[in-house]
């Protein structure tokens, strides 16, 4: 379809991610284009954000077994994207939705607005993402695979304890020292 080829990298990356049929990545159902807007109709996910559901858990954390189930789904989505040369660049709990309200609902990765295509071995030099999920050293330009590993570790830590490994205070303290 010509439309996908002539559109910006953002939209192309977004469609590449969403058009794929992976159980842990939100499906793109339809695309509509007007004179000035592009409308994306995605799979309906009724279960809410992972972060919000975490807040509803006893003691504000999942059991280790439940956490393992969720992290496995998150990593499966990341592995799938990386195997197709796509990097998400904004991994956080808010970018995972549950497909339904059931307790054992599957996760869906969403929000590919910062995603882009990459080549293996290519170092990423852009500091993008949500500040509270980014390790301070990322802002020194030490990106590449470290970026995604850090985000996965941060998400796992939050799932187990509802504690951020990198707070805004620690970020600003680090930035001030530099």
Total-model pTM: 0.71
> What is the percentage of the chain residues whose pLDDT exceeds 70?
62
Note down the domain range covering 164.
Answer: 45-177
Q: Which of 52, 90, 140, 169 is catalytic?
A: 90
Count of C-beta atoms within a 10 Å radius of residue 93: 21
Per the prediction, the chain carries an average pLDDT of 75
Which candidate, 89, 84, 81, 148, places its Cα nearest to that of 115?
Answer: 89
| Distance (Å, whole) CA 45 – CA 107 | 9
What per-residue confidence (pLDDT) applies to 129?
A: 75
Kindly report, residue by residue over 123-176, the tens digit of the pLDDT: 777 777 777 776 666 655 554 444 455 555 555 555 555 455 444 444 444 444
Q: Does an H or E element contain 9, and which? A: helix 9-19
- CATH number at 172 reads 1.10.510.10
Question: Total structural domains in the chain?
Answer: 1
What pLDDT is attached to residue 138?
61
Q: Is 104 among the catalytic positions?
A: no
Alpha helices in 20-167 (DSSP H): 50-55, 64-83, 145-161
């Amino acid at each position: 379809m010509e439309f996908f080829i002539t559109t910006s990298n953002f939209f192309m990356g977004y469609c590449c991610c969403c058009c794929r049929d992976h159980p842990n990545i939100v499906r793109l159902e339809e695309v509509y284009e007007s004179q000035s807007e592009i409308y994306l109709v995605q799979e309906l996910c009724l279960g809410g954000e992972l972060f919000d559901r975490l807040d509803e858990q006893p003691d504000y954390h999942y059991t280790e077994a439940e956490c393992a189930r969720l992290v496995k789904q998150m990593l499966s989505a990341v592995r799938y994207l990386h195997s197709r040369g796509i990097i998400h660049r904004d991994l956080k709990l808010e970018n995972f939705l549950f497909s339904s309200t059931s307790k054992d609902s599957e996760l869906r990765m969403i929000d590919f607005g910062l995603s882009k295509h990459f080549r293996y071995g290519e170092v990423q030099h852009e500091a993008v993402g949500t500040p509270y999920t980014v390790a301070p050293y990322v802002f020194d330009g030490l990106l590449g695979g470290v970026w995604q590993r850090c985000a996965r570790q941060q998400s796992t830590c939050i799932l187990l304890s509802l504690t951020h490994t990198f707070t805004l205070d620690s970020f600003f303290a680090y930035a001030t020292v530099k």
